[in-house]
C-alpha cells in the first residue's frame, strides 16, 4: 500500500466544516502543518481559547475523517490557541508538529495516568532527575538549565527535557531555534547547545501558540518526548517540571524511574507552603528528594554592594532541616543571572568564573553526591542471597 501523503490528509480535512459551520478548516487556515510518522498523523487546529470546549466535536470530527484514510494507523488532533488571535475570530494557522498520543488511547479517571506495573528506564540514560517547584515564578527553569550545565561542567554527559507543555522555556534559555529531525524508526534527534541535548514542546509549537490539551494528551506527549528521542549515552537527564502537582508531575513521578527530585523555592513562607506540596507528592510516589534550593535568596546592589533580603532569607534552609532533606544551596537574585537567561546564554557558560556560576557548580556537585548516596542506600537495602 502506498504511503499516505500530507496532501491526502489535507484533502480529507476539507470535508470538516469550520467553527461556525461555514467553509472548511483547511481553507479557513486553521490546520497546522501535518506531521506523519509511523502511519500516524499529528496536527493541530487553531481556535479561540474561550471556544475550545465548545469546538471539541470539530476536533473529534477531524480525527475521525483522517483515521478513515487507508494506510493511516491512527490520528491525533490537538486544539491550540494563538495568543494574538482576536477573541471573536478564528486564529491564523499555527505551526504545531506536535508529538502527541496515539489515537484511541483511553483516558484515565480524573485525567491521571494509571501507574504501570513497572517503570521502564530510558536506554543509555543513567539517571533521571526532576527539578520541581510548588508554584510558578520561583525561577525553576533558570535553575534547571544552570543545574544541567553545571553537571556538564563537572564532567558528566547531560540532557534536559522541558516537561512544561504549556510554558516551555528551554528554546529561549538555551538559544535554540528550529525543529528536531526524525531519524530511523520513530526516533527524533534532540536539539543541542552548550554540549547538552535538549527536547521541548517549544521546538514543535510556535512560541505564541497556547496549548489546549487535556490530561491524557499531556501524559502521552511527555512520554513520547522522553522515550521516542535518541538521547544517546547520558549520565543524567534533567527534567524541568512544570510548577505545581498536576497531570504532568504525576505522569513523570508514576511512570518514569526518577532517581530523585530537586525542589526549588524562594525564601518566603508562601512559596515554602507550595514547596511542601511538591515534597509530599514525591514522597507519596517514593521518589527520593535530593534536596531544596533557595532561589532569589538575597540581592546584592551592583552600585553599593549592599545586601537586601527582598523575599526574606533562610526559609528554605530551615524547611529542609525541619523535614530532614538536604539543603543544596542559596542562589542570589542578580542582574547577571536574569540578563544571561533572557539572552539564552546561561551564566554557567557565559561567565563560568563568576560567583553565580560557581554557586551553581557547587549545587550541581551536591546534587550528584546526593544521587550517588541515594543509590548506595538503595543497594544496601536490597536483599542479599547467600549460598552456603
**Measuring CA to CA, which residue among 344, 28, 44 is closest to residue 205?**
44
Number of other CB atoms surrounding residue 377 within 10 Å: 10
- Report the share of the chain in percent with pLDDT over 90: 31
Task: Measure Cα distances from 322 to 39, 292, 318, 319 in Å.
Answer: 53, 12, 6, 5
Going 316 to 317 to 320 to 326, the CA torsion angle's sign is: positive
* CB-facing half-sphere around the CA of 82: CA atoms within 13 A: 21
Q: What is the DSSP string of 274-319?
A: HHHHHHHHHHHTT--EEEEEEEEEEEE-TTT--EE-BTBSSHHHHH
Note whether 374 and 260 are within 8 A (CB). yes
How confident is the model at residue 99, as a pLDDT? 35
- Report the pLDDT averaged over residues 308-313: 80
Residue 143, pLDDT > 90, answer yes
Which residues lie below 8 Å from residue 230, measured CB to CB, with a gap of 6+?
183, 187, 188, 189, 190
How confident is the model at residue 231, as a pLDDT? 93
DSSP-derived 3-state class of residue 132: strand
DSSP-derived 3-state class of residue 273: helix
CATH code reported for the domain at 128-381: 3.40.50.300
How confident is the model at residue 108, as a pLDDT? 35
The CATH-assigned architecture of domain 6-98 is: 2-Layer Sandwich (3.30)
How confident is the model at residue 46, as a pLDDT? 82
Residue 363, pLDDT > 90, answer yes
Extents of the domains making up the chain? 6-98, 128-381
How confident is the model at residue 177, as a pLDDT? 86
Residue 253, pLDDT > 60, answer yes
3-state secondary structure 140-206: HHHHHHHHHHHHHHCCCCEEEEECCCCCCCHHHHCCCCCCCCECCCCCECCEEECCEEEEEHHHCEC
- Report the pLDDT averaged over residues 189-198: 94
Is pTM beyond 0.85 here? no
Do 6-98 and 128-381 have matching folds? no
C-alpha cell at 167: 510554558
Per-residue pLDDT of 68-125, as tens digits, reads 999 888 787 777 765 443 333 333 333 333 333 333 333 333 333 343 445 667 889 9
Is residue 148 very low, low, confident or very high in pLDDT (cuts 50, 70, 90)?
very high
Residue 219, pLDDT > 60, answer yes
**Measuring CA to CA, which residue among 116, 78, 102 is closest to residue 251?**
116
Least confident of 23-37, 98-112, 167-181: 98-112
- Report the share of the chain in percent with pLDDT over 70: 77
Per-residue pLDDT of 371-381, as tens digits, reads 998 877 765 55
User: Can you list the positions of beta strands (E) in the chain?
Assistant: 35-37, 40-46, 74-82, 128-132, 158-162, 191-193, 196-200, 209-212, 236-240, 260-265, 289-300, 307-308, 327-333
The chain-wide mean pLDDT, for the chain, equals 78
Amino acid at each position: 500500500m502506498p504511503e499516505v501523503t500530507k496532501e491526502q490528509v489535507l484533502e480529507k480535512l476539507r470535508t470538516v466544516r469550520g467553527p461556525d459551520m461555514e467553509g472548511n478548516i483547511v481553507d479557513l487556515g486553521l490546520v497546522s502543518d501535518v506531521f506523519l510518522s509511523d502511519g500516524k498523523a499529528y496536527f493541530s487546529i487553531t481556535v479561540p481559547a474561550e471556544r475550545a470546549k465548545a469546538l471539541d466535536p470539530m476536533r473529534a470530527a477531524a480525527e475521525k475523517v483522517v483515521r478513515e484514510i487507508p494506510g493511516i494507523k491512527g490520528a491525533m488532533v490537538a486544539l491550540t490557541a494563538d495568543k494574538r488571535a482576536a477573541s471573536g475570530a478564528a486564529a491564523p494557522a499555527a505551526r504545531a508538529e506536535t508529538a502527541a498520543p496515539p489515537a484511541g488511547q483511553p483516558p484515565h479517571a480524573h485525567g491521571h495516568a494509571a501507574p504501570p506495573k513497572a517503570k521502564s528506564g530510558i536506554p543509555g540514560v543513567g539517571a533521571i532527575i526532576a527539578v520541581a517547584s510548588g508554584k510558578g515564578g520561583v525561577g525553576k527553569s533558570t535553575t534547571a538549565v544552570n543545574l544541567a550545565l553545571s553537571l556538564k561542567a563537572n564532567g558528566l554527559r547531560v540532557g534536559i527535557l522541558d516537561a512544561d507543555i504549556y510554558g516551555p522555556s528551554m528554546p529561549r534559555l538555551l538559544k535554540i531555534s528550529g525543529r528536531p529531525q526524525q531519524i530511523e524508526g520513530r526516533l527524533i534527534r534532540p536539539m543541542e547547545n552548550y554540549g547538552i541535548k535538549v527536547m521541548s514542546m517549544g521546538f514543535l509549537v510556535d512560541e505564541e501558540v497556547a496549548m489546549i490539551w487535556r490530561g491524557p494528551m499531556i501524559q502521552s506527549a511527555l512520554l513520547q518526548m522522553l522515550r521516542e528521542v535518541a538521547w544517546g549515552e547520558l549520565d543524567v537527564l534533567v527534567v524541568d517540571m512544570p510548577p505545581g502537582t498536576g497531570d504532568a508531575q504525576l505522569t513523570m513521578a508514576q511512570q518514569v524511574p526518577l532517581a530523585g527530585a530537586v525542589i526549588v523555592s524562594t525564601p518566603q513562607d508562601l512559596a515554602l507552603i507550595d514547596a511542601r506540596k511538591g515534597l509530599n507528592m514525591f514522597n507519596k510516589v517514593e521518589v527520593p528528594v535530593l534536596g531544596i534550593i533557595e532561589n532569589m535568596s538575597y540581592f546584592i546592589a551592583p552600585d553599593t554592594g549592599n545586601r537586601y533580603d527582598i523575599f526574606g532569607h533562610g526559609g528554605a534552609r530551615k524547611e529542609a532541616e525541619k523535614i530532614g532533606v538536604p539543603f543544596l544551596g542559596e542562589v542570589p537574585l542578580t542582574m547577571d543571572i536574569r540578563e544571561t537567561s533572557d539572552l539564552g546564554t546561561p551564566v554557567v557558560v557565559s561567565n563560568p568564573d563568576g560567583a553565580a556560576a560557581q554557586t551553581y557548580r557547587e549545587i550541581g556537585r551536591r546534587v550528584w553526591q546526593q544521587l550517588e548516596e541515594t543509590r548506595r542506600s538503595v543497594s544496601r537495602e536490597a536483599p542479599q542471597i547467600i549460598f552456603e
